[in-house]
Amino acid sequence: MTRGRRGGLHAYLFIGPSLFGVVAFLLLPMVIVFALSLFDWELLSAPEFAGLDNYRRLAADGGTWHSLLVTVGYVLLSIPLQTVLALALAVLLDRRVKGLRFYRSLFVVPWMATPIVLGLVWRWIFDPRDGAINRALALVGVTGPDWLSDPSWALPAVALVSVWQYTGYNMLFFLAGLQGIPRELHDAAAVDGAGPRQRFWRVTLPLLNPTMFFVTVTNLIGAFQVFDTVYAMTDGGPSHSTEVLNFRIFQTAFKEFDFGYAATLSTLLFAVIFAVTLAQVRFFGKRTTYDLS
């Protein structure tokens, strides 16, 4: 065996465990879900081949398209605000403030909590009578809405919980990215007469593109798959105003026992996430540099 082949074999031995995990727990389930979408299966009976019937049903299913719009609304409400706040916190903490480790830990604590538990706690906080938010508003003479029972407020309330939970976690990535930018670049920009705002927009932000790319891709993928918080806080209500696509998949599979159609909805969700991720890759591809030397 030549040295090149031996090196290749060693490389495959090292990546083998990870490759097995990707195939067994990612690619294979995707293939199975797509195959299942071509069948009618109610779990207790034998699957019956349906061809593209489930996809024809999907095309005419207004409830599913409503759920997709709700999901997009949730993403638009949570991701931009979450990203801006995380970046702002990272910029503040990058100034070598005292107690930096304490603040890092404090902001990351919400991310460490279980989404179901957080959903139940926030459900109490948003309670119209005894909740902390409406009690605080009452102190200044404002009558708070019935947050989780009002279709106009339920989805923003759920999105706010997501922002609160994940902002600190994303802040860590931005802080790491900021600390990886050579100080000499900022010093050179200052010598050329650039003020703090100009240095941020023309030096810091462009060099944060790799971090921004990672944060936005992972956050968008997670946001499109939101389920736990919705399940704990609103159960998809009121009037389906928080029925995101992942929640509809759960309802279809485990309450209606229509696993073939649930697989079709899962395929739709995968297609949407794939399209959004591909768009981000193309957007950041020409704007990102990983060489700061």
Cα distances from 125 to residues 3, 77, 130, 138, 258, in angstroms, run 64, 20, 8, 14, 35
| pLDDT for position 119 | 87
| pLDDT for position 127 | 92
| pLDDT for position 66 | 97
Percent of all residues in the chain with a pLDDT value above 90, rounded to a whole number: 60
Over 80: is that where the pLDDT of 117 sits?
Answer: yes
Q: Per-residue pLDDT averaged across 50-73, rounded?
A: 96
Please provide the DSSP assignment of the chain as one string: --HHHHHHHHHHHHHHHHHHHHIIIIIHHHHHHHHHTTEE--SSS--EE-TTHHHHHHHT-HHHHHHHHHHHHHHHHHHHHHHHHHHHHHHHHTT--TTHHHHHHHHHHHHHS-HHHHHHHHHHHT-TTT-HHHHHHHHTT-----GGGSHHHHHHHHHHHHHHHHHHHHHHHHHHHHHTS-HHHHHHHHHTT--HHHHIIIIIHHHTHHHHHHHHHHHHHHHHT--HHHHHHTTT-STTTT--HHHHHHHHHHTS--HHHHHHHHHHHHHHHHHHHHHHHHHHHTT------
Q: Per-residue pLDDT averaged across 66-73, rounded?
A: 97
Q: Per-residue pLDDT averaged across 24-35, rounded?
A: 91
- Asked whether 261 and 31 are in contact (CB, 8 A), the reply is no
- Distance from the Cα of residue 171 to its chain's centroid: 14
pLDDT digit string (tens) for 151-191? Answer: 999 999 999 999 999 999 999 999 999 988 888 888 888 88
Cα–Cα dist 142/132, whole Å? 13
Over 60: is that where the pLDDT of 4 sits?
Answer: no
Q: Mean pLDDT over all residues of the chain?
A: 89
pTM of the model: 0.91
| pLDDT for position 101 | 76
Cα–Cα dist 245/251, whole Å? 10
Q: Per-residue pLDDT averaged across 112-129, rounded?
A: 88
